[in-house]
Amino acid sequence: MIEARHLTKVFDLSPARARRTLDAGPDRARAVREAGGVLAVDDVSFSVERGELFVIMGLSGSGKSTVIRMINRLVVPTTGSVLYDGTDVGGMTPRQLRGLRNERVGMVFQHFALFPHRTVRENAAYGLKARGVPRRERLRRADRALEQVGLGQRGGAYPDEFSGGMQQRVGLARALTTDPDVLIMDEPFSALDPLTRRSMQEQLLELQRDFRKTIIFVTHDLNEAMRLGDRIMVMRDGRTIQLGTGPEIIARPADGYVHDFVSDVDRTRVLTAAAVMRPPWVTAALGEDPAAVLARLERSRARGAYVTAPDGGIAGVATPEALSAAAAERRADLEHCLGGDYTAVPDDTPLVEFCHLTGGHAVPLAVVDRDKRLVGVVPRARVLDAIASAAEDRSEHA
Amino acid sequence: MPRIPVGTAVESSLQWLVDHAGGFFDGVSAVLLFAVNTVYTALVSPLPFVLIAVFGLVAAVTTRSAVLTVFTVLAFLLVDGMRLWTQTLETLAVVIMAAVISVLVGVPVGILAANSARVSVCVRPVLDFMQTLPVFVYLVPSVFFFGIGVVPGIVATTVFAIPPAVRLTELGLRQVDAEIVEAARAFGPRPGQVLREVQLPLALPSIMAGVNQVIMLALSMVVVAGMVGAEGLGGVVVSGVTQFDIGLAFEGGIAVVVLAIFLDRVTGALGRPRSSGRRTRTALDTLLRRRAREEAPREPEHAAA
């Protein structure tokens, strides 16, 4: 959908001079600095899939805001290119570029950047006004966008009558009114208090479930990045350090910088059941002989076995007592020794939401995939291990 | 250090201009004279009491201050009572002309300067020159070009009054939050749309402060313009001073002050944000907006038709 190739941006030097300086030698950053310029972004490449929520994470000065402004060419790259479905933005005429910004890309800003002299409704309608849509039509569509962000009745107010969270909802509505495929969000929730930020994040995820926009989201908050991002690109000093999914970055930080970052993340919200589960020690198929299962169970340390149905789903749990009773009755299968004494969670459940469910039964917590098939188990010890390693990281850091 | 004949060079180039571009200056002179006479005629044609009522109404609507409204009415009645009514209107006509020209020149230059560092750097010394060069230095040459009378007064006044229009327009535009301008650009408006719909409205308080300054400077030049034969209050004051008629000079001076206070408060109120909090809407904006709101309900009829 969007492809950024070797984006580089030098500020404070003329483009020609900047390009000459970049070609000068191996240490580009130093060469640019000595020429009196600033190398804000240094050879950044990535591609964003349709419907993906792509997060660019870095501290201030890492070049992340410059990168997203090169995507809709508010900042012209010194070298490198941005492609939308294969079309190079740099090759567009001013008119095509306006069309791209107006119809395909919506943008949300850190400090909201609402027009203080216009009503909330007129703010939300701005993109359509730029497009030349008649007043009545654009206000109607602005109202609909305001409805989506939960401000349906407040269109007549002025932005300064609103709290920060509400203002950013207006900013989001303004970006949604033009119905773009792509949303560029530049630290949209950084200026909000933690509670508001949380609810805005949830609302964004909800909108994303409904509309499946392609979103490029900038933040300096790794927790936010982990919560929202399908994939995360970590930037530092204008360069990409690591690009991967949240759990990948937590599990294998590319360098000490990312590792330091990661140690501050609340792992219980990032690690999912799939990340901490292990294979069950003993499982049994529904058609097996109770005596054989009992023998396997007694050789292991397990205190019960998950019994799977032919479709892979969990049929129930067989305890040693039930199995020996069935063996004594010479039953041919496990049909009569199934108990319901277990809990199962989907594999994408975050640790924080299932840790209290572990340890309540003879068998460990079951983890099932989307088709309800048993994919692993999480005994209480695994949960403690996962939390402990996070704490260890933190104390190491301190 | 050898003598550098700057003065001679200026003189000869002025002479060259008078010799070769005299027709042009005559044309400008005629246009300005016609324009200022039109304004004057429009002001003088209603009865003084009608115009005073209009001034009072303007003061009431723009400033919403009962005190200023009463002051306006009483002060202009006093002016009429001093038999300086026509001279005051002559002066007002000159001020209006000079202010209009200054704004028409100054605001676009300010816009250019705000958008280009190069223009800004070039314009700044010119403005310094216009503001600090002693008035008489160019008042007298402007008599060469435009003859004795009201026109050199307008020209000299305009030269003096343009700088604040440029400066405050540039300042106002530069002070508009860059993120807001960027936000506007991010939605792909046509060129000029951002300036018209976002930058200028947000810079309006500063621009109106510039207009206010333009008018006040123009008024302060009026007396000086009286020396080159411009009629009006300047003429009254100059003849009062030269004939040692202190009373007449004072009367003329009081009329200037009345005009100054009225114009300052009215234009000041147009540029000031309306009381409520940190809202940036100005009185002028509110007036324009009210019109826009009144238009809104009519739209369904358009649709039906």
Residue B82's contacts (CB-CB under 8 Å, 6 or more residues apart) are B251, B254, B255
Taking contacts as CB-CB distances below 8 angstroms, the residues of chain B near A142 are none
- CA distances B232 to A39, B173, B260, Å, are 63, 36, 14
For residue A374, what are the β-bridge partners? A368
User: Hey, is A42 helix, strand or coil?
Assistant: strand
Contact check, Cβ <8 Å, B190/A130: yes
Backbone angles phi, psi at B295, to 5 degrees: -70, -30
User: Which chain B residues are within 8 Å of A184, Cβ to Cβ?
Assistant: 186
List the single residue in B with minimal CA-CA distance to A177.
B187
Delimiting residues of CATH 3.40.50.300 domain(s) in chain A: 2-268
Quickly list DSSP for B92-114: HHHHHHHHHHHHHHHHHHHHHHH
Residues A174 and A262: their CA atoms lie apart, in Å, by 34
The set of residues, in sequence order, having a beta carbon less than 8 Å from that of B74 and lying 6+ positions away, is none
Instruction: State the pLDDT at residue B285.
Output: 59
Give the mutation candidate from B179, B180, B187 for the A interface (greatest A CB count, under 10 A): B187
Cα three-residue angle A310-A313-A318, rounded to 5 degrees:
90
Of B180, B183, B188, the CB nearest to A102: B188
Is residue A185 classed as helix, strand or coil in its secondary structure?
A: strand
Interacting residues of A287 by C-beta distance below 8 A, sequence separation 6+: A333, A334
With CB atoms and an 8 Å threshold, state whether B188 touches A100: yes
Instruction: Say whether the ipTM exceeds 0.90.
Output: no
Residue A391 predicted with pLDDT over 90? no
Residue B299 has pLDDT above 60, yes or no: no
Domain A274-385 top-level CATH class: alpha beta
- Buried b / exposed e over B161-200, threshold 16 CB at 10 Å, is bbbbbbbbbbbbbbebeeebbbbbbbbbbeeebbbebbbb
Gap between the Cα atoms of B178 and A190, Å rounded: 18
CB-closest option in B179, B279, B280 to A109: B179
User: B183 and A100: CB-CB below 8 Å?
Assistant: no
Complete edge-to-edge strand list for the sheet that includes strand A38-48: A38-48, A2-11, A79-84, A87-88
- The label of the residue with tokens 């305001």 reads A146
pLDDT score, position A123 = 93
B57 touches chain A (CB under 8 A): no
Q: Identity (one letter) of the amino acid at A73?
A: R
Q: Helix or strand or coil: residue A229?
A: coil
The pLDDT of residue A35: 87
Query: CATH assignment of A2-268?
Result: 3.40.50.300
| Mean pLDDT, residues A355-375 | 84
Q: Which of B179, B185, B201 sits opposite A117 (nearest CB)?
A: B201
Every domain of chain A with CATH number 3.10.580.10 lies at: 274-385
pLDDT tens across B273-296, in order? 654 434 445 555 555 554 444 444
Hey, how many other C-beta atoms are within 10 angstroms of the C-beta on A367?
A: 25
Q: What is the pLDDT of residues A151-166, one digit of tens each?
A: 888 888 899 899 888 9
Q: Which of A99, A115, A160 sits opposite B277 (nearest CB)?
A: A160
The residue of chain B with its CA nearest to that of A72 is B186
Q: In whole angstroms, how far apart are CA B161 and each of A123, B123, B132, B156, B165?
A: 37, 15, 11, 9, 7
Given an 8 Å threshold on Cβ–Cβ distance, is A130 in contact with B180?
no
Average pLDDT along chain B: 85
Ranges A96-105, A387-396, B48-57, B120-129: which has the least confidence: A387-396
- B157 half-sphere exposure, CB direction, 13 A CA radius: 36
- Cβ of B285 within 8 Å of Cβ of A117? The answer is yes
Residue A178, CA distances (Å) to A48, A106, A110 in order? 21, 7, 20
CA distances from B139 to B8, B142, B298 (A): 18, 5, 53
Q: Which domains does chain B have, with CATH numbers?
A: 22-290 (1.10.3720.10)
Distances (CA, A) of A262 to A248, A373, A379: 11, 32, 25
For residue A287, give the 3-state DSSP assignment: coil
Chain A positions touching chain B (beta carbons under 8 Å): 72, 74, 94, 97-103, 105-107, 109-111, 113-117, 126-127, 129-131, 135-136, 158, 160, 174, 178, 184
For A193-234, how does the pLDDT look when each residue is reduced to its tens digit (9 = 90+)? 888 888 899 889 888 888 889 999 999 988 899 889 999 999
Q: Which residue of A has its CA nearest to B193?
A: A130
A265 to chain B nearest CA, in Å?
30
CA distance B267 to B222: 18
A23-33 residue pLDDT tens: 877 888 888 88
DSSP element (H, E) containing B232: none
Total residues found in chain A within this entry: 398
Q: Which of residues 184-203 of B touch A (CB under 8 A)?
A: 184-191, 193, 197-198, 201-202
Q: Does B286 touch chain A (CB under 8 A)?
A: no
